[in-house]
A and B are shown apart, each in its own frame.
Chain A
């Protein structure tokens, strides 16, 4: 724990993640206004630092909705997508990667070829096809990310499993007669775990970006409900009059992704038992 607290990347990432979680969980209390409440008389208010109305700290949009409130509420879909999609993609990819790496032979050939073929599909196209089939919505975004990104976990976990399988401690485990399932779960998985944690946080960052892209093109939650991608899309129309409409949600995305990446990277270097010695 002490080593974690001393690693600046971990501290920065943890603060960002905590802020995200708090914003998403406590949005109704944190947000100064209803994110959907329109006030056409007060449209295009400048942020407070540019001399705008201090009740709208970050100004208002074309319909007079409070930007700060919309950004806070926007953390909800971002976080849900990031967490659920990264978790499911991770579970699927890790299970297949462990199987391919440990059992080798035909299982490996089948899974590896599947990953190769899978990765050769253009992912954006796959997303759009999925959205067309499933309809727009948060679940579509989550499923699209799982369907596309499990391969990332699968590849890395397979490679690491191959490395771990060649280690002497696995031979020792085999030599006392442990069952393969036991060896994978109790011997190999814990040794792959630091890598998984890193991949997971990186994947959360990627998922936030993908969610933003999909809501930018209107494939995420119904329009009107605040998402960061949706805010960027709305702000794009008025970028000449009110640049902050677009810049603020972009800043949210950038900080969130940077934080998650830093967290993943920092965790890996702290948790790696070889590097810390």
Chain B
């Protein structure tokens, strides 16, 4: 069976020639949750932005392909891409504090996507938005619709954004570190909510994170990224118990765990970082 999202050898470069992504390959099967893990700067967010077609203006895809549902969407024209985004591909952004328009009420920020893709009238969209907000367990949805983003807490805003992401029942949701900007107690609720919606609607999720704890709880399989490359892809259980790549092992050793004292935490060895950097340099030299 072909994957719902199939990223194949994706190369992303800045106009100056700097490589951001080096042959990234990644598959997300329908209805599965795939984690994308790595340090800051590994290229996780770039991958998600490429799928959404909102990569930085000075970066361009130099090679490889992104296929959604068997269709190449790497270089699809903007107006065709717009039909896909929001309807078939949802997006949960990293920072709920800045991802809502500060001068607009919540209502249009939830209903825009409904009116645009499902052609609902203002009234129908409002009624639907109320159901959606109830679905993400926001209390007093009527009140929330009339409020401005700064009147809501971070957790509430993230729920609003999740409601908007799942509004059109997309087949794929891209979640870019959706819990990083939230505090720990809220993180757990948000993860549970994403899991619940995913199970109910059979949505596939590409879950970008740097948190192995989240991966262990949520994901069916994981890809580990470093330096714009995918180093290892494996089902979650086997990656956590038998990591093959030395970098994955180092990353796991650097992750706090409740069953190990904090002193056993290991920073990623400098030698390994150097080795990886050398590999990348050789790789870049070999390619045009």
From B67-75, B84-92, B235-243, the one touching the partner chain is: B84-92
Partner of B52, one of A167, A169, A175, A187: A175
Is B150 part of the contact surface with A, judged by Cβ < 8 Å?
Answer: yes
Instruction: Give the shortest distance, in Å, between A93 (CB) and chain B (any CB).
Output: 21
Partner of A175, one of B85, B100, B101, B117: B85
Q: Which residues from B are CB-within-8-Å of A167?
A: 98
Q: Which residue of B lies closest to A193 (CB)?
A: B103
Is B35 part of the contact surface with A, judged by Cβ < 8 Å?
Answer: no
**Cα–Cα distance between A106 and B270 once the two chains are bound (Å):** 44
**Cα–Cα distance between A274 and B149 once the two chains are bound (Å):** 12
Instruction: Give the shortest distance, in Å, between A92 (CB) and chain B (any CB).
Output: 24
Is A179 a contact partner of B150 (Cβ separation < 8 A)? Answer: no
**Cα–Cα distance between A174 and B82 once the two chains are bound (Å):** 8
- A178-B100 contact in complex given A104-B57, A172-B161, C-beta closer than 8 Å: no
**Cα–Cα distance between A171 and B57 once the two chains are bound (Å):** 12
Partner of A177, one of B86, B102, B103: B86
Q: Which residue of A lies closest to B57 (CB)?
A: A104
Partner of A176, one of B91, B94, B104, B148: B91
- Interface size for chain B: under 10, 10 to 19, 20 to 34, or 35 or more residues? 20 to 34
Is A191 a contact partner of B117 (Cβ separation < 8 A)? Answer: no
- A172-B57 contact in complex given A177-B82, A191-B101, C-beta closer than 8 Å: no
Give 1 or 0 for each of B102-145: 1 = CB within 8 Å of chain A CB: 11100010001100110000000000000000000000000000
- Interface size for chain A: under 10, 10 to 19, 20 to 34, or 35 or more residues? 20 to 34
Residue of B57, B79, B99, B108 contacting most chain A CB atoms (<10 Å): B99
Q: Which residues from A are CB-within-8-Å of B78?
A: 180
Is B83 part of the contact surface with A, judged by Cβ < 8 Å?
Answer: yes
- A174-B54 contact in complex given A167-B98, A179-B82, A273-B150, C-beta closer than 8 Å: yes
Task: Write the residues of chain B forming the contact surface with A, with a CB cutoff of 8 angstroms.
Answer: 52-54, 57, 78-79, 81-87, 91, 93-95, 98-104, 108, 112-113, 116-117, 148, 150, 161, 164
Task: Write the residues of chain A forming the contact surface with B, with a CB cutoff of 8 angstroms.
Answer: 104-105, 167-169, 171-180, 186-187, 190-191, 193, 273-274, 277
Can you report 7 A-B residue pairs in the complex whose CB atoms are below 8 A from each other? A168-B95, A172-B93, A173-B112, A177-B81, A177-B82, A177-B86, A186-B108
Question: Besides A176-B112, A191-B102, 4 other CB < 8 A contacts?
Answer: A171-B99, A172-B91, A176-B91, A277-B150
**For the complex of A and B, 3 pairs with smallest distance between CB atoms:** A176-B86, A175-B91, A177-B85
